[in-house]
Chains A and B, each alone.
Chain A
Amino acid sequence: MGELATEKHVQYILSVEKRKDDFQSVVMEHLRMNGAYWGLTALDILGKLNIVDADEVVSWVMSCQHESGGFAGNVGHDPHILYTLSAVQVLALFDKLDVLDVDKVTNYVVGLQNEDGSFSGDIWGEVDSRFSYIAILCLSLLHQLDKINVEKAVNFVVSCKNMDGGFGCTPGGESHSGQIFCCVGALALTGSLHHVDKDLLGWWLCERQVKSGGLNGRPEKLPDVCYSWWVLSSLIMIDRVHWINKEKLIKFILDCQDTENGGISDRPDDAVDVYHTYFGIAGLSLLEYPSLKAIDPAYALPVDVVNRIRLGKRHAI
């Protein structure tokens, strides 16, 4: 089996950040905040966050904040809950949450909760169980979870549960590993995992492992490195991760590396991108691959960052 090409991946992530001339960076402009979270978290797991200038990143992140309190995907764009979480996560990585006006961000997120407990992504009202997780995680990082109606939020997430034990984007929506991660994460962060049928969901999730060792997101779909994160983190949160074959999954992720130029792709021999690079490295971290920082499956941040935030809360009390 090959090894993780750590140095190459570090160089790849930095090159994506600096790239100037390809179409990819143009169409990614509006979601650069997500890209920053993926790239920087991957660097931190690799133990290389220190090569980034924290002040520059923090000042750019803050320049994406809107007067409503929410963050945009880039300067001059509209705020959305997706980018608000990424912004808070990036600040958490650098231990810079103190630059935030916590009330302002909190008010933005609180304002997106609907009467039925669900969350909208922005003022236009799209509802998705992903946004429930994002809102709950964002407020957890800010120690402000008590500002929303948690009971209703949990009830909405539970209403997205299906007969196969999985979760969809809205009630009745097909079970999908990405949505399952969000729903299980939301329930984990609110101490509500008793709503999950762990054995049934655990079986559904471990059925996602295919012969090559990779994981797919739904039955009969192709395996994809990003599901290494969505499926694995869900299995860890419900304490069933030993139901998959870890060695085979590690091999699958390593087979998706571009060992020459760095980066990880969705499947072996495809083109790499920063999204799959992050999910591959985060997946390996969950699999306890040597010399990687541990990542927390619910917070999607390195464990030391999460501990620092929890400790901060204790000091605050």
Chain B
Amino acid sequence: MDFDDSLPISERPEWYDVTPLPQDDGPNPIVAIAYKEDFSQLMSYFRAVYRADERSPRSLHLTAEAIAMNPGNYTVWHFRRLILEALNVDLHDELNFLDNIAESNTKNYQIWHHRRWVAQKLGTNAANKELEFTRKIISLDSKNYHAWSHRQWVLQALGGWEGELDYCHELLKEDVFNNSAWNQRYFVITRSPLLGGLQAMRESEVNYTVEAILAHPENESSWRYLRGLYAGDTQSWIIASQVSSVCLKVLKSKINFLFALSTLLDLLSHGFPSTQEFRDAVDALRVPDDNQTDSNLAKTVCLILERVDPIRVNYWLWQKSKLPQ
């Protein structure tokens, strides 16, 4: 059935039999919410069909109009799902409907939730479309939490893991500071049924991460990823030559060395045996004002961190306080 949206709803023939139902703000409204007129009228018809539980094509169309005006109204979405179920609508059309409104509403919880509901009903056939769709949204906003969350759900529920590590690489090549992409990379290497898990992936991932760190040593995300590759395995962490060597390289470069210092501190506190090379590299970062030095390397590291990261001075003081005296 075709519907003509150009007329105000009160003048459309298909709605003559419905008495609109205005918003009831309760017995003693503290706020008399005023509505823009057209929206207000549309919502009055919505309330009427919702109250009457009329699961019809015209109601479905009405929900689309109401959603276009206010996609945050979860009651409209709720009713739309009931209608879709009742009318047995082809849900591929529903995905297309969602595509059209999603791009201008990429942070709307209701749209994403509705999308998941539809995709779940369509099953594995929807996997590719959903991965494509999230890719598109992520290309507009690379850290969109909803899109990433939906994508993780698609991978786990519907599949499509094959190209995911490459996709992460693609995004990190564009922006190596993208924490969402690093998180997705960790998600893939720890959860993909096609890869062998963290242990099996560690070596190649360490190489990848070290390269990313050397390109931008000021990147919090890549350093945390490196640490995450040794989650629950401190012994391997402190003996990993690639880890200590990337620290040393960054320290020797004398620029953007904050995370290298904090990583060295982490290593030392877990029993990493420091060498003269590390002492020299750290000593070279002292400034004349740092006359307070210590024979203990970890303590010297803390002193430097207190100076170069003054906003977190209390954190570094605490780190220093827990070093063995």
Asked whether, in the complex, the Cβ of B27 is within 8 Å of the Cβ of A59, the reply is yes
Asked whether, in the complex, the Cβ of B183 is within 8 Å of the Cβ of A60, the reply is no
Asked whether, in the complex, the Cβ of B31 is within 8 Å of the Cβ of A17, the reply is yes
Asked whether, in the complex, the Cβ of A243 is within 8 Å of the Cβ of B315, the reply is yes
Report the minimum CB–CB distance from B168 to chain A (whole Å): 13
Interface positions of A from 105 to 131, Cβ below 8 Å from B: 122, 124-126
Is the C-beta of B308 less than 8 angstroms from some C-beta in chain A?
Answer: no
Candidate in A74, A76, A80, A221 with the most chain B CB atoms within 10 angstroms: A76
The chain B residue with its CB closest to the CB of A60 is B26
The chain A residue with its CB closest to the CB of B145 is A176
**Chain A hits for B170, CB < 8 A:** none
State the majority secondary structure of interface residues on A. Answer: loop
State the majority secondary structure of interface residues on B. Answer: helix
Report the minimum CB–CB distance from B288 to chain A (whole Å): 25
Q: Which of B68-76, B204-212, B245-253 contacts A (4 or more CB under 8 A)?
A: B68-76
Give B73-106 as 1s and 0s: 1 = Cβ < 8 Å from A's Cβ atoms.
Answer: 1110010010000000000000000000000000
Is the C-beta of A94 less than 8 angstroms from some C-beta in chain B?
Answer: no
Report the minimum CB–CB distance from A79 to chain B (whole Å): 10
Report the minimum CB–CB distance from A87 to chain B (whole Å): 13
Asked whether, in the complex, the Cβ of B24 is within 8 Å of the Cβ of A76, the reply is yes
Report the minimum CB–CB distance from A234 to chain B (whole Å): 15
**Chain B hits for A63, CB < 8 A:** 24, 26-27
Answer whether A26 and B75 are a contact pair too, CB < 8 Å, given A21-B34, A174-B183, A202-B315: no
Is the C-beta of A187 less than 8 angstroms from some C-beta in chain B?
Answer: no
The chain A residue with its CB closest to the CB of B231 is A163
**Chain A hits for B231, CB < 8 A:** 163
Cα-based distance from A126 to B31 in the complex (angstroms): 30
Asked whether, in the complex, the Cβ of A172 is within 8 Å of the Cβ of B191, the reply is yes
Answer whether A78 and B311 are a contact pair too, CB < 8 Å, given A17-B30, A207-B220: no
**Chain B hits for A78, CB < 8 A:** 74-75, 78
Report the minimum CB–CB distance from B64 to chain A (whole Å): 17
Cα-based distance from A163 to B237 in the complex (angstroms): 14
The chain A residue with its CB closest to the CB of B191 is A172
Asked whether, in the complex, the Cβ of B26 is within 8 Å of the Cβ of A163, the reply is no
Q: Give the A interface residue count (CB, 8 A).
A: 62
Interface positions of B from 163 to 205, Cβ below 8 Å from A: 177-180, 183-184, 186-187, 190-191
Asked whether, in the complex, the Cβ of B143 is within 8 Å of the Cβ of A56, the reply is no
Q: Which of A27-35, A188-196, A291-299, A300-308 contacts B (4 or more CB under 8 A)?
A: A27-35
Is the C-beta of B7 less than 8 angstroms from some C-beta in chain A?
Answer: no
Answer whether A170 and B81 are a contact pair too, CB < 8 Å, given A32-B31, A220-B179, A243-B314: no
Is the C-beta of B28 less than 8 angstroms from some C-beta in chain A?
Answer: yes
Asked whether, in the complex, the Cβ of A53 is within 8 Å of the Cβ of B81, the reply is no
**Chain B hits for A162, CB < 8 A:** 183, 186, 228
Cα-based distance from A11 to B25 in the complex (angstroms): 22
**Chain A hits for B16, CB < 8 A:** none
Interface positions of A from 86 to 116, Cβ below 8 Å from B: none
**Chain B hits for A218, CB < 8 A:** 143, 179-180
Asked whether, in the complex, the Cβ of A170 is within 8 Å of the Cβ of B29, the reply is no
> Which of B35, B40, B72, B116 touches A30 (beta carbons < 8 Å)?
B72
The chain B residue with its CB closest to the CB of A58 is B28
Report the minimum CB–CB distance from A173 to chain B (whole Å): 6
Report the minimum CB–CB distance from B39 to chain A (whole Å): 6
The chain B residue with its CB closest to the CB of A31 is B72
Report the minimum CB–CB distance from B119 to chain A (whole Å): 13
Give A8-23 as 1s and 0s: 1 = Cβ < 8 Å from B's Cβ atoms.
Answer: 0000000001111101
Report the minimum CB–CB distance from B314 to chain A (whole Å): 5
Answer whether A20 and B113 are a contact pair too, CB < 8 Å, given A78-B74, A163-B227, A164-B228: no
Cα-based distance from A57 to B28 in the complex (angstroms): 8
**Chain A hits for B190, CB < 8 A:** 172
**Chain A hits for B26, CB < 8 A:** 59-60, 63-64, 75
**Chain A hits for B36, CB < 8 A:** 23, 26
Asked whether, in the complex, the Cβ of A174 is within 8 Å of the Cβ of B148, the reply is yes
Answer whether A172 and B314 are a contact pair too, CB < 8 Å, given A60-B30, A76-B24, A219-B221: no
Is the C-beta of B47 less than 8 angstroms from some C-beta in chain A?
Answer: yes
Is the C-beta of B33 less than 8 angstroms from some C-beta in chain A?
Answer: yes
> Which of A17, A27, A221 touches B72 (beta carbons < 8 Å)?
A27
The chain B residue with its CB closest to the CB of A53 is B30
The interface of chain B, by Cβ under 8 A from chain A, is: 23-36, 39-40, 47, 70, 72-75, 78, 81, 109, 113, 116-117, 143, 145, 148-149, 152-153, 177-180, 183-184, 186-187, 190-191, 220-221, 224, 227-228, 231, 311-315, 318
Q: Could you list some 28 contacts between A and B, CB below 8 A?
A: A19-B31, A23-B36, A26-B34, A26-B39, A29-B23, A30-B74, A57-B30, A59-B28, A60-B30, A63-B24, A73-B74, A77-B74, A77-B75, A164-B227, A168-B183, A170-B152, A174-B180, A174-B184, A176-B145, A203-B315, A204-B224, A206-B312, A211-B311, A219-B220, A220-B179, A221-B143, A245-B311, A248-B311
In the A-B complex, the 9 residue pairs with the closest CB atoms:
A163-B228, A20-B34, A174-B183, A63-B26, A60-B26, A243-B315, A219-B179, A77-B75, A172-B187
